[in-house]
Amino acid sequence: MAASATLQRATVRYQRLLLASALASKGSAPCLSALGPPYLLGRALHITGAIPAGHNKWSKVKNIKGPRDAKRSQIFQKLSMMLRFAVREGGPDPELNSNLANIIEQCRNNNMPKASIEMAIKGVDKEKSTTYVLYTARGPGRSALVIEILTDNTRRTQQEIRLLLSRNGAVITDGVRHLFDQKGVVTVKDREQRSVSLEQALELAVEAGAEDVQESEDEEEQEVLKFLCDVSVLHQVRKKLDAQGLQSLSAGLEFIPNTTVELSEEEMKQSSELLMVLGNCQDVIRIYDNIQ
């Protein structure tokens, strides 16, 4: 009797699985009542091709496309702030405002739509006036940070930055600015997408009048080269690098550490979290550190 009941239950279970498979193959979602108890629903998911495919697609959208779209939107917002500030400081004509011209080029290299660039430039009068603020801080492992801010409310932003720093093992301080030198930096890639070795780049730097070259990555994790020079010769170096077959992605002033610190694994993890939360702050436009 027990064997007969077990066989009957197995037959019913098998019939339900076949029904679920047939419905899925016709493109219709299986009815929950036909699938039976939850453990049968879980097993049915493994025998149909349509349901796992949908799950994988959603995972890809959520885990890859979603964060990328959010980061791109965040980059566009910050570039728009930089555009408006540059217009207020030097006017709306890129030919007469080199800072604006550099930011417009950064916008294009980040694939910011032309309409969005023009809207930001023309919408300056409609926006609240923004202020440039520079904060310096001590991070995990005695690391040093320089944080560039554009904000329309300095008091609110200072409170937010202090809170983010304190929650992640850091504090605002005035004692680290001397650990950085302000340099002109021209970020380039090869115009023909060829790989340029560091040795070749150093030769190009000498010819262009730059002081040093650093290897780096852009927002898309593509390899780029940063040519460091004195602030006074920034645009001359840029023109010479362009003439040598390189494509300049940006040219501007940056804070370059003159000394670096090495962190433990735990300190490095904490610093990464700190840089991430600071980077997600709407008013933060750039962060520099001296972490090795």
pLDDT digits (tens, 9 = 90+) for 59-90: 333 344 444 556 778 888 888 888 988 898 88
Domains observed in the chain: 68-126 (1.10.10.200), 131-289 (3.30.70.980)
The whole-number pLDDT of residue 69 equals 59
Whether the predicted pLDDT of 143 surpasses 80: yes
Burial level of 204, CB count in 10 A (0-12/13-18/19+)?
A: buried
What confidence tens digit (pLDDT) does each residue in 14-66 have? 555 555 454 444 444 434 333 333 333 333 333 233 333 333 333 333 344 44
Check pLDDT > 70 for residue 250: yes
pLDDT at 9: 56
pLDDT of 126 reads: 63
pLDDT value, residue 26: 44
Q: What is the mean pLDDT of residues 227-237?
A: 92
**Residue 10 above 90 pLDDT?**
no
> Which 3 state secondary structure label does DSSP give 48?
coil
3-state secondary structure of 134: strand
pLDDT at 45: 30
Question: Which residues lie across from 185 on neighbouring strands?
Answer: 228, 252
Q: Quick one: average pLDDT of 224-240?
A: 92
Pair 141, 264: CB distance under 8 Å:
yes
The pLDDT value recorded for residue 158 is: 94
Task: Please give the mean pLDDT across all residues of the chain.
Answer: 78
DSSP state of 123: T
- Of the pLDDT bands very low, low, confident and very high (cuts 50, 70, 90), residue 268 is very high
Its pTM stands at 0.68
Contact (CB, 8 A) for 288 and 278:
no
Averaged pLDDT, 173-195:
88
Q: Is 80 exceeded by the pLDDT of residue 280?
A: yes
What is the Cα–Cα distance from 240 to 204, expressed in whole angstroms? 9
Q: 213-228, pLDDT tens digit by residue?
A: 988 877 667 788 999 9
